[in-house]
Amino acid sequence: METTAPETNIHVVNGPPKRVIVAERAIRHLTGFFYHLAFVETLVCLILPIIAILKDDLTKLRFHSNNASYVEYCGWRDIHAYDSSVAYLGNLYSFSYSKNCGDYNKACTLQTIGTVWYSLLIIGIVFVGFSLITFIFDLPALLARTLIIVFNFIFFACMFVDALIWGIYKTCHKACNLLDFPGLPTTITNCTPHWGASWILVIIAGGLAILSIIALMLSRSIPKI
């Protein structure tokens, strides 16, 4: 508020107390921190599913024989190996779900679930991409936050369903326990399944999407002085 000193032409501006100014600055910084934190978390949400697709390791299968153990990876469209010291169970071994669907019912199930998993992952990547674009464009704050929260929630839903589809049904786990993969050496005695890196990355990405939504809500709900 501006006042005039008595019997002078000097104008004096009465500003807010210093503690109020400090509090307002702190709130602005905190709001910006949560907003930028949400952006970083959303960016990581975009990167993790892409790595999950490239890695293509939903279930890690460890086959055991009398003299060694061999590792194969159950992906969304086939069972494959990245590296192995044994040629016949290493890079030369591949079990395609689509090619074996006619002879093995479990291959058809794996193909269906794998296709759904991949499709949901692509949909999630598209929506989290929309979210990042919304961050970049200069939109009104309320509209931007609303759109980002909606896009990130759709992404979370895709990751959540993906985790349930592969995690609860445990298709590769069941097939591994029955040892009914064609072309495996007769020396294989048993198989131990483990959660793969791609499945774990999907779980982490879904969790980060929720954290991003929380950060955006905090950046909006901080009270003003």
**Range in 37-51, 116-130, 133-147 the model is least confident about:** 133-147
Which residues span the domain enclosing 41?
A: 17-221
Examine residue 49 and state whether it is found in any structural domain, yes or no.
yes
CA–CA distances in Å: residue 22 to residues 17, 27, 28, 95: 9, 9, 10, 64
pLDDT in tens, 153-182: 999 999 999 998 888 877 788 778 777 777
Tokens read off for 131: 């979210």
The domain that contains 85 carries what CATH number?
A: 1.20.140.150
pLDDT at 8: 55
- How confident is the model at residue 20, as a pLDDT? 47
- Across the range 134-138, mean pLDDT stands at 86
Instruction: Say if strands 95-96 and 69-74 run parallel, antiparallel, or are unpaired.
Output: unpaired
Domains of the chain: total: 1
Considering the domain boundaries, does residue 99 fall inside one? yes
Q: What is the spatial order of strands in the sheet that 69-74 belongs to?
A: 95-96, 78-80, 69-74, 59-65, 188-195
The reply to whether 147 falls in a domain is yes
In a domain, 2, yes or no: no
Q: Residue 7: pLDDT above 60?
A: no
Give a yes or no: residue 130 inside a domain.
yes
Is 50 exceeded by the pLDDT of residue 30?
Answer: yes
Residue 191: the pLDDT is 86
Q: Evaluate whether residue 7 is within a structural domain.
A: no
Residue 3 lies in a domain: no
Express each pLDDT in 56-109 by its tens digit. Answer: 999 988 888 777 777 888 999 888 876 555 544 544 567 888 888 877 778 888
Q: Which of 24-28, 94-98, 125-129, 137-141 is least confident?
A: 24-28
Domain presence at residue 30? yes
pLDDT of residue 125: 96
